[in-house]
Structures are given as structure tokens and as C-alpha cells.
A and B are shown apart, each in its own frame.
Chain A
Amino acid sequence: MIKVTVNGQEHSWDGDPSLPLLWYLRDEVGLTGTKFGCGKALCGACTVHVEGAAARSCITAMSDVDGQKVTTIEGLDPHGDHPVQKAWREVNVPQCGYCQAGQIMQAAALLKDNPHPSDGDIRDTMSGNICRCGCYQRIEAAVRLAATGA
């Protein structure tokens, strides 16, 4: 039996321990904010926080999160007002919006570790997250805004 805390709520899973966390969250728990994009940690759409660090849930097995705390986009802020979320809205970042939960979770993890990232830091850290619509200019601006207020 695997025990995992998702957004502060404890869950247990007695199914396949190799099931990727992504599908557990989406299909078994019903938290669909975390998205599927590649299944191989290549695009970042499935990014969540495991013990506060950004993780690609598509290659994270349930057995890897036994006893750990997972935060998804739904749990990032109770009102959806994390500084990164607010900045995203201020800059009108999304086009289709599909990758944005992963982008926001990655950016939030970045700012937690590095509250004052350089432009290079932003580009390096965010380069694991693909946006096919091409919102990159605004993603960079929004991360900067969240970090500096400007």
C-alpha cells in the first residue's frame, strides 16, 4: 500500500506501484490540472512538486512518492493567487493554455529556490517546458514579473 499526500490530503494506492504519478493524479484522484504531453520528461506539461521540488509526474512512479508530499497546480495556492499565477494573468501569457500548469509549477519551483533569477536562469530552468503555441516571450516576462514585481 502506497501512501501519498496530494495537496495536503492523504491518499493510499494499492494498485500498480509502477503507475506514473501523472495518471494516478488525473485518472484515479481526478485532479486533471496536471497535463500529459510526452510521457518521457521531455516537455514539462506534467510538472508537479514532490516535497517542494519540480518533478515530471509522467516518469515518476507511484512507488517513488510513497510517503511523500505532492503539490499540483490545484494546490499551489488556495485561491489561485500564487505570485506566479498572478503574473501569468497580468502578462496574458497563455494561448491554448494546455502547457501552462506545468510552466507555472516549474516557475514556482524556480522562484522558491532562486528568488532573483537572471534572464539566463529563467531561460535555463524553463527550457524543460515546451509551449507549442510559442508563449515564451511572455513566460519569461511573467517569471521576471513574479520575481521582481516589474
Chain B
Amino acid sequence: MHGNIVPPIENVSRRAILRGMGITAGLVLAAPVLSRPGMAAYNTGAGAMPHGTVNDPRVFVSIAPDGIVTILAHRSEMGTGVRTSLPMIVADEMEADWTRVQVRQAPGDEVRFGNQDTDGSRSTRHYLMPMRQVGAAARMMLEAAAAKRWNVAVTEVTAANHEVVHTATGRKLGFGELANDAAVQPVADVSRLRLKDPKDFRYMGKGQVGIVDLHDITTGKAMYGIDTRLPGMKYAALARPPVTGGKLVSFDATEAMKVSGVENVIEVQGWPWPSKFQPLGGVAVIARNTGAAIMGRDALKVVWDDGANAKYDSVSYRTELEDAARKPGLVVRNNGDAEAALKSADKVVVGEYYLPHVAHVSMEPPVATAHVADGRAEIWAPVQSPQGTRDDVAKTLGIPVENVTVNVTLLGGGFGRKSKCDYALEAALISKTIGAPVKVQWTREDDVRHDFLHTVSAERIEAGLDKSGKVIAWRHRSVAPTIASTFAAGAKHQAPFELGMGFVDMPFDIANVRCENPEAAAHTRIGWFRSVSNIPHSFAVQTMVAEIAQQTGRDPKDMLLELIGPARIVDIGAGVKDLWNYGEPVDSYPIDAGRLRRVVELVAEKGEWSRKVPKGHGLGIAVHRSFVSYIATIVEVAVDDKGQLSVPRVDTAIDCGTFVNPERIQSQIEGAAIMGLSLAKYGEITFKDGRVVQGNFDDHPVVRIDEAPKITNVHIMPAAPDVPPSGVGEPGVPPFAPALCNAIFAATGKRIRSLPIGKQLEPA
């Protein structure tokens, strides 16, 4: 038997670093800071995030006497490569040799580490510069220590590749030999930091460094949330109310207790809807292993009170949304006079689009382990929001936040689901009740049926054209239940962060633009899903462009460039009250029509837009700015006579500003094509009688390898180091579905206005 049980993540606060740069209470800088004089600096929205950023090397870096440099990763790894990329920035700046670097995961503690919410495609965007500052400051401390040892001026020494060299004499000291002395050197003020010249980067921008967990992943040693094992740990599976807002009436555990390995059945507290990230409540079966817990859970007899959402039905709800989109709603953008311009237009093109709820279905279903005892709680969980989890555990248990430790495991996918820590709160409540460590495991059905779903949306666009075919008016209505409804009862309008995802920030050069947001009531938990409201907004806008091109006999790519208009900074001005801009300052991150044009031109060139394709094939194009990045996609589709589609080729061009790890950008874009194809072909969660109809990969399919694009080519726009970094994890998704559906039109003449595609292409 394998009896050894190792908590997967070392709690750094307990780690005794006896030598080297100890982990000490660090200097906290709440705002990003300027780089060295002579290098253009940029501002980001990082300072406005909870707890801002921290750039103290003593927080992130320690050096052991043997020279091993340990760098903390404080953002969650769910597949983007951030656990490699951010430490790599530090290593590069401090001249550490990557082969002598080890990465450890930080626990949830934003006062020490700065914001840890791994979402919104923000990690590199907000931490590229602070991580460079961490590395530069560490390097300067090592140089100062060496200069002192040799009794020479610090200007005479240089750190290079894990050692410090005295230039005049060639004397060398390794980082390990300097660790003790470097630790007591003062940390240079940020205004005095000497950052490396980007031409001297050894790792950044090169794409030569494999992810730090690669060997462990391929040998089964990588530790995910599901892999936590603690002495005396129990396993739990829960029955939860099948309708959002429902609650437990009674349960009969007789049959569950007969299952071999089941030890206990308890009630778990739920919260009234809207319940934020709090547990849904229900009944937990506690067992000696997960299999027994699940079998026991399935044997429970439970009576539920379904509550106010018992009638939620996707068919009638769709009709409600579509009706609402045909009537005026709250005006959320108004430039010029779109109403008058539509009336006077020579031609009006109307498009109505529908996109259903989508589930995250990360391969690792929600899972968390908790040990609550003596007024303290320790959590091991795959969470995107470690500090948020910590705060919520403290609140839920009624203990001080200092008494809660959240150890962040690897995430087996996240996509926004694991920003919501309800599963960790369940584990904490159950551990407290049973007085033992417990792992709560969600099944796939639990995951699909109790997700915080991607919104469902009806979009309607009317475009008014003058006699020459020029678009002079644009009225877009977007109706979708808001994420805010998960936090506030009765929220019926999209929040600024949803409106600002490709709807009110629509960048086209059109004089009269009006955006309206009619009301939509939520009947289930709505949450962030990778790229969020950009999915419906970009589908509507980018399909509409192709529809206008079709009706005016123009090439879709040319139409797109005409609508984008000349290279310029797009000024929406007073048209929008609270333009979100992904939380970024517009001086560093304006809406840049020139960059939007250039990704279209790049993808058209590299993706060979003008190529001839075989009969039954078609090309489609779409472009979208999201998470302050610019991204354009061309999809080649093939549709056979049975209406089955395949994707021989995808080309995507991305401009994400200055970048760190092009190899991981490529993998994110390859993956985004798969996720985009999944949601276009199959993605749909429906409700009947308040209950989610689907449950597993049989009735909620996702794309498999045999239907994946044969090749996805990724074209990264080169950028100067002073161009601020922007998002990568999410922006690949939004343009895919409209590009695909535009390609389907080119191949078949059939316009897809409603997702998923499902059987729409099959012959009648």
C-alpha cells in the first residue's frame, strides 16, 4: 500500500528558509510603477485590483546556499502556462539560470503577493512589469553583496547567468555563495531599478522554455485539486437542489447507509438565492473513498422545495429574450442619431442572433479538501481566486481570515468556473461538522447541473446603409441575464463589464450608433465563462458584417476593413457613460483601429484569404478586440452532403502587445479554436421545469480529436517592448464561432444565426 500522504502544496508561510533571502513581510506597492528612464512606461489597471501588485523580491524570491533559486508563482495555473511565464520573467531579469530555478505555488494571501484573481486574462498584463522589477531588484541585491565582498564599487560588477562577475579581475561568485549577504541588502527603490535591455532577454519572448510541470504531468505526479490526500481524510459527495434557489425538505438515508464504505450522511447548509459563491446546500454522503460516496449519494431519497425558478424553461425563455430584443431597451450607448439615420437609410440589414447557456466542463470537476479544527481552516483546492476563497471560508465559518490557509493546487482546467469557490465552502462546512479532513468531489453531472453558467443571449442588429452601400446607422440590442444577478436580487441589466465586452465598445467607423440593453431576469446562477459576454456580442457583430457584405456584394474582409475605417484611436466619447475597457486606462490601452486593421491584414495575408478552396469548402473571417488584445481568425470549413462539417484549417493573428511566452500564446490560441468549435457545434445547456436537461459528455458533447481543426496556425504580431502587454487566455475564443459560421455561409449559402449549429446543416 502507498501509505505516504503528502499535502500537495507546501505552505510557504511555514517554510523555514534559514538562509538566503528569507520570506519576510514585504514592501507593498499598491500601484504599478515606471520603468527606467529612457524606456517608455505604461500604466495598467493593476493598481485598481484588490490589493494591487507587489514587486518586492523578498516576497517572491529566495536563494538557497546551493544556488537553487526558488520563485513563487502567485497566480493559479489552469493551463495558460502562467506558473511558468511569471517566474520566467523574474529569472530572466535577475539573470538566474532557468535550470537552477524551482517554482513554488503561493497560498492565498493578497496582502503579501498582490492580487491573485487569475481571471480576465490579466496575469501577464498586470504582472509583467512588477515581475521584472522583482527580478531586477534581486539582481541588484546580489550585485551589491558581491561588490561589498570584494570591496569594489557596485558599478564594477555584473550579474550574468547565475553568478556575479567582477569585470576588471574576472572574479566570480555564484548566486548561492551570495545568498546570505544579498538577503540583508536594501531593496532598491523602484525609481533606481536598472531593468535589462530587452535585447538581452534570454527567456522572455523566445518560447524555448517548457512548462515547469511538464515532466510531472506526463508521469502522473502533478498534483491537482483532486489529488489531495490527508491523514484520516474522508470523502464526500453531495445531493444538491436541482433547481437554483430550491432547498432541502427532507431526506431518507437508509439505502445510502447500506452502501459499502459509506460512513455518515449529513445535511449541508444552503444560502438563499441569489447565493453569490455560497453553497447550494443539500445532503452530503461521507465515505471511506470517493466511489462509495458517489454510490451512496445516488442512493439517497431526497425531497426538495424547488422554489421560485421551478418553471425555468429554455424554449419559452428564448422567446422572451427574442421578443425583448425587438423592443426598445435601456440605452447604453448613443452616438449621433441612429433612429433617424435608420429611417432615412436606403437599405436596412437586420440580423437576429441567439446563443444559449454554455457550461464550463473543465476536465477536473469541482473538488476541494478542507480540514477545519480548533478555529482554523486549511483548504487545498483548485481555485482561480485564492484570496477570495480565503475570505469566503472565513466568513462562512465565522472565523478570522488569518485563521484560514488556502493552498492552491494545479487546476484541471478552470475557464472561469473555478473563480467561484462554492465547492471549497462545502468542504469547509462538512469538515467542521464531521470533525475530520474531507474531500468533496463533484461528479460530471454535478458540474453540468450546478454550474455558474455562461449567460444566454438574444442579439439584434439593424444596420442602415446609404445609396452607396456605406453603413450610416447601427442599432444593436443585447438581451442576456447578467452575472450581477448571482450577487444581487433582481439585477436585470448587463453590468458595465459585460456591456464593455464587444457591445458598447464596438469600434466601427459609423456616425450613428445606438446600443440598447432590454431587461432579462435570471433563473439560474450566471457566471464568467472564458471570454464572457464577448462570445454573444462578437458573434452578432461579426456575423452582421458578413451579412452586410453579402447583401451589398462585397468581400467580407474588405467590408470588415471598411467598417473598421482608417487607423486611429477610436473615441466613443460621451456615447457611453462608463466605458469599462477591461479595467485598463485608455491612455495605455485605447481602442486602436489601426491595430484592429493590422490583425485583419496579417491574418488575410498569412491565412491566404484570397485562396481558392475546393467545392463544399468555404472561408470565413472575424476580428474582435477583447481583454485589450486584437485578434482575427480565418476558418476554412468543409461541409459534406450530409451536413457534417469539418475544419481543415484555422489561421489566427493576435496582437497582444509585448509578450513573454510565444509558445504558450500559440497553445492558448490552438485551444481557443477547439473551445470555439465546441461551443459553435454543440455548446448548449437547456432547462426544463427549472432543471438542467444535460448531465455528461453524452448529452453535452464537446469537440474530440477526430473533429478538431486539422491545423491551427498562429500568427503573433511582433510588438516593441514599450507596447503594454494585453490578454491571451480568453481573446482567442470570441472570433472563432462567427468566423466558422461565416465560412459555413461561404461553403453552403446557409446563414447560421443561432448556436449551437447542431443539426442545422443537415438536409431537411
A interface with B by C-beta (< 8 Å): 11, 15-16, 18-20, 22-24, 26-40, 42-43, 45, 72-74, 80, 85, 88-89, 92, 94-101, 104, 122-124, 126-140
Partner of A88, one of B218, B261, B696: B218
List residues of chain B with CB under 8 Å of any chain A CB.
Answer: 1-5, 77-81, 210-211, 213-215, 217-224, 226-227, 229, 235, 259-261, 288-292, 294-295, 361-365, 410-415, 441, 443-444, 663, 667-668, 670-675, 696-698, 702-706, 708-709, 711-712
Q: Knowing A20-B291, A131-B363, A134-B673 touch, does A30 contact B215 (C-beta < 8 A)?
A: no
Beyond A19-B291, A36-B364, 7 additional contacts (C-beta under 8 Å) are A11-B1, A30-B2, A31-B220, A37-B365, A127-B705, A131-B705, A134-B671
Q: Is B698 within 8 A of A42, CB to CB?
A: yes
Q: Which residues of B contact A136 (CB under 8 A)?
A: 674, 703-705, 708
Q: How many A-B residue pairs have CB under 8 A?
A: 203
Q: A95-B79, A131-B363, A134-B672 are in contact. Are A34 and B667 (CB under 8 A)?
A: no
Q: Which residues of B contact A85 (CB under 8 A)?
A: 218-219
Min CB gap A48→B, angstroms: 10
Q: Measured between alpha carbons, how far is A85 from B219 in the docked complex, in Å?
A: 7
The CA of A98 and the CA of B270, in the complex, are separated in Å by 30
Known: A97-B410, A98-B412. A132 touches B708 (CB 8 A): no
The answer to whether A96 touches B705, judged by C-beta atoms less than 8 angstroms apart, is no
> Beyond A33-B219, A94-B218, A134-B672, is A43–B697 a contact (Cβ under 8 Å)?
yes
Report Cα–Cα, A32/B80, bound state, in Å.
23
Of the candidates A15, A128, A131, the one whose C-beta lies within 8 Å of that of B260 is A15
Q: When the two chains form their complex, are residues A45 and B4 in contact, meaning their CB atoms are under 8 A apart?
A: no
Say whether, besides A23-B291, A29-B1, A96-B79, A134 and B363 are in contact (CB < 8 Å): no
**Knowing A35-B364, A36-B290, A97-B217 touch, does A137 contact B697 (C-beta < 8 A)?**
no
What chain A residues lie within 8 Å of B672 (beta carbons)?
134
Known: A30-B2, A100-B218. A132 touches B363 (CB 8 A): yes
Give the shortest distance, in Å, between B211 (CB) and chain A (any CB): 7
A127:B674 contact, CB within 8 angstroms: no
Interface SS of chain B: loop
CB distance from A75 to the nearest CB of B (A): 9
Q: Which residues of B contact A73 (CB under 8 A)?
A: 219-220
Q: From A124, which residue of chain B is reached at the shortest CB distance?
A: B706
**Residue of chain B at shortest CB distance from A95:** B79
Residue of A nearest to B78 (CB): A96
Write out the residue numbers on chain B whose beta carbons fall within 8 Å of the beta carbon of A100: 217-218
- Compute how far the CA of A132 lies from the CA of B229 in the bound complex, rounded to whole angstroms: 25
Selected from A11, A34, A92, A98, the residue in CB contact (under 8 A) with B211 is A92
Report Cα–Cα, A18/B259, bound state, in Å. 10
Question: Are B413 and A98 closer than 8 Å at their CB atoms?
Answer: yes
Nearest CB to that of B667 among chain A residues? A95
Residues from chain A with Cβ under 8 Å of B211 in the complex: 92, 94
How far is it, in angstroms, between the C-alpha of A94 and the C-alpha of B444 when the chains are bound? 21
Instruction: State whether A42 and B290 are in contact (beta carbons under 8 Å apart), knowing that A36-B441, A132-B702 are contacts in the complex.
Output: no
With A97-B79, A97-B217, A129-B705 as known contacts, state yes or no: A38 contacts B444, CB within 8 Å.
yes
Q: A40-B696, A127-B705, A137-B670 are in contact. Are A94 and B217 (CB under 8 A)?
A: yes
A37 to B259, CA, bound (A): 22
Q: A94-B214, A94-B217, A98-B412 are in contact. Are A26 and B290 (CB under 8 A)?
A: yes
Q: How far is the CA of A15 from the CA of B259 in the complex (A)?
A: 11
- A-side contacts of B712, CB under 8 Å: 137
CB distance from A44 to the nearest CB of B (A): 9
- Which listed residue, A24, A37, A80, A92, touches B363 by the CB 8 Å rule? A37
Q: Are A42 and B217 closer than 8 Å at their CB atoms?
A: no
- The listed residue (B4, B291, B410, B444) touching A30 by CB distance below 8 A is B4
Residues of A within 8 A of B295 (CB): 18
A77 to chain B, nearest CB (A): 8
**Chain A residues near B663 (CB, 8 Å)?**
92
Cβ-defined contact, A28 with B363, below 8 A: no
A119 to chain B minimum Cβ distance, whole angstroms, is 9
Q: Tell me, in angstroms, the Cα distance from A122 to B708 when the chains sit together.
A: 13
Min CB–CB distance B327 → chain A (angstroms): 38
Q: In the complex, A137→B365 CA distance in Å?
A: 24
B206 to chain A, nearest CB (A): 13
Kindly report which residue of chain B lies nearest to residue A137, judged by CB atoms.
B670
B363 touches A43 (CB 8 A): yes
> Across the interface, do A130 and B697 meet the contact criterion of CB distance under 8 Å?
yes
Q: Are A133 and B671 in contact (CB-based, < 8 A)?
A: yes
Q: Say whether A34 contacts B670, CB under 8 Å.
A: no
The distance in angstroms between the C-alpha atoms of A4 and B214, with both chains bound, is 30
Q: Is the CB of B229 within 8 A of A123?
A: no
- Complex alpha-carbon distance, A91 and B312, angstroms: 46
| Bound-state Cα–Cα, A104 to B711, Å | 21
Given that A23-B289, A129-B705, A137-B708 are contacting pairs, would A98 and B219 also be in contact in the complex, using a CB cutoff of 8 Å? Answer: no
Q: Please give, as numbers and ranges, the residues of chain A lying within 8 Å of B3 by CB-CB distance.
A: 30
Q: Which residues of B contact A19 (CB under 8 A)?
A: 260-261, 289, 291-292
- Chain B residues whose CB sits within 8 angstroms of the CB of A20 once the complex forms: 291
Chosen A-B contacts, 27 in total, with CB atoms closer than 8 Å, are A15-B260, A15-B261, A16-B259, A16-B291, A19-B289, A23-B292, A24-B289, A26-B226, A27-B235, A32-B227, A35-B224, A40-B697, A80-B215, A94-B213, A96-B78, A96-B362, A97-B410, A98-B224, A98-B412, A101-B217, A126-B706, A131-B705, A132-B675, A132-B702, A134-B675, A136-B704, A137-B670
User: Do the beta carbons of B218 and A134 come within 8 Å of each other?
Assistant: no
Q: How far is the CA of A36 from the CA of B4 in the complex (A)?
A: 21
Pairwise interchain contact A38-B289, C-beta atoms closer than 8 A:
no
Knowing A30-B1, A130-B697 touch, does A35 contact B226 (C-beta < 8 A)?
yes
Closest chain-A Cβ to B214's Cβ sits at a distance in Å of 5
B709:A32 contact, CB within 8 angstroms: no
A134: chain B residues within 8 A (beta carbon): 670-675, 703, 708
With A and B bound together, what is the CA distance between A8 and B673 in angstroms?
41
Partner of A99, one of B288, B363, B667: B363
Residue pair B363, A98 in contact (C-beta under 8 Å): yes
Let me know if A130 and B702 touch, CB within 8 A.
yes
- A102 — nearest CB in chain B belongs to which residue? B363
Complex formed: what's the CA distance from A138 to B714 in Å? 14
- Least CB distance from A146 to B in Å reads 12
- In Å, the complex CA distance between A29 and B674 comes to 35
Given A11-B1, A134-B672, A135-B670, also A28-B289 (CB < 8 A)? yes
Beta-carbon contact of B80 and A95 below 8 Å: yes
A43 to B667, CA, bound (A): 21
Q: CA of A33 to CA of B80 in the docked complex: distance in angstroms?
A: 21
B362 touches A132 (CB 8 A): yes
Query: Within the complex, what minimum Cβ distance (angstroms) separates A109 from chain B?
Result: 15
Question: From residue A47, how far is it (CB to closest CB) to chain B in Å?
Answer: 12
Residues of A within 8 Å of B670, CB to CB, are 134-135, 137-138
Residue of B nearest to A20 (CB): B291
Q: A30-B2, A100-B217 are in contact. Are A89 and B365 (CB under 8 A)?
A: no
Q: Find the B residue at minimum CB distance from A77.
A: B219
Closest to B709 in A: A137
> Would you call A37 and B444 a contact (CB within 8 A)?
yes
Closest to B224 in A: A98
- Contact partner of A127 (CB less than 8 A), chosen from B214, B413, B706, is B706
Residues of B within 8 A of A101 (CB): 217, 220
